[in-house]
Chains A and B, each alone.
Chain A
């Protein structure tokens, strides 16, 4: 029984560490942030303003129809996935997939 408890605690810890690492992932270049709840251009301005407050963000483009924000990060700088998610939440929306993209995408 004691061994099972130790295994469960270890598994939970691994999941927690994995989640924390994902949240602290640093991103650079161009970042595509899928945003749920983005249903009107007039309310997208708050999202743009909030993401612009992040240090290192040079440019933001918002595509309401395809529900994403495209962040361009300043050369030599990075942002964390956790910071992006926090700012999307503060703007009143829900973040989904966050990925680095190339100019071709």
Chain B
């Protein structure tokens, strides 16, 4: 789909926002949510993400398993499968499991009202260098990364606003990374329970590495189909609005197709 067509699709969908009142929406696609319930609490999530950069094409298939200790405390792990296909002549394709990430989230506050909630949580994570980094291109980073983040969201039955900020400290003295994400989600179909929903998610996803003057901001529209209590399909693209410091390896776009399945 051409960018122009995509833009018209987004404009059309956004126009529906003002005529389609009173319905609920799902979790954002590219931004974390402070609601650790339902598909975000006791489910398994996986998606395929195709990342197109100027000198490498990457396919990532992470599998994420969160588990709720209770309604306020969640632990989990993410293990990605990665396939890297360099564009340069003579370079070989490499694939395998990447670095294992374990995380915990704890809800700091929860303000509930009829049909709406305002929540915030703290997120801690550690990424271990379990992926092979001895070959080029490497599927593993070879370093530990410690992350601390804050996730918040104001979610009503009509719309949802989400925000996330995180700081990732890299163990070997490499530049640390600041991640910042915002999301807006909106339902496109009348709500019912058990749910059958089509939701729009529009995210802004940024990563900044100030030490090396590197920064990227993606515009990330997506659609989400919830076909029951336990199953969700989602798809979205990420288009760079601005990027600096990436030299000759700039991002072209990313494409994501994924699912979340409630297992517990």
- Residues on A facing B (Cβ under 8 Å): 34, 36-46, 48, 62-65, 67, 89-94, 96
In the complex, given contacts A41-B194, A48-B229, what are 18 additional A-B residue pairs having Cβ atoms less than 8 angstroms apart?
A: A36-B113, A38-B115, A39-B24, A39-B115, A39-B117, A40-B157, A41-B193, A41-B226, A42-B195, A43-B40, A43-B41, A64-B157, A65-B22, A65-B157, A67-B114, A89-B71, A92-B71, A92-B72
Chain B positions within 8 Å of A92 at CB level: 35-37, 41, 71-72, 110
Shortest Cβ distance from B121 into chain A, in angstroms?
Answer: 12
> Which residue of chain B is the closest to A37 with respect to CB atoms?
B112
Contact A36-B26, Cβ < 8 Å, known A42-B232, A43-B38:
no
- Residues on B facing A (Cβ under 8 Å): 22-27, 35-42, 70-72, 110, 112-117, 155-157, 160, 191-195, 197, 226, 229-230, 232, 262
Residue pair A45, B110 in contact (C-beta under 8 Å): no
> Which residue of chain B is the closest to A92 with respect to CB atoms?
B71
> Whole-angstrom distance between the alpha carbons of A40 and B27 in the complex?
9
Shortest Cβ distance from A102 into chain B, in angstroms?
Answer: 22
What 5 A-B pairs come out closest when comparing CB atoms?
A37-B112, A41-B195, A92-B71, A43-B37, A43-B38
Chain A positions within 8 Å of B71 at CB level: 46, 89-92
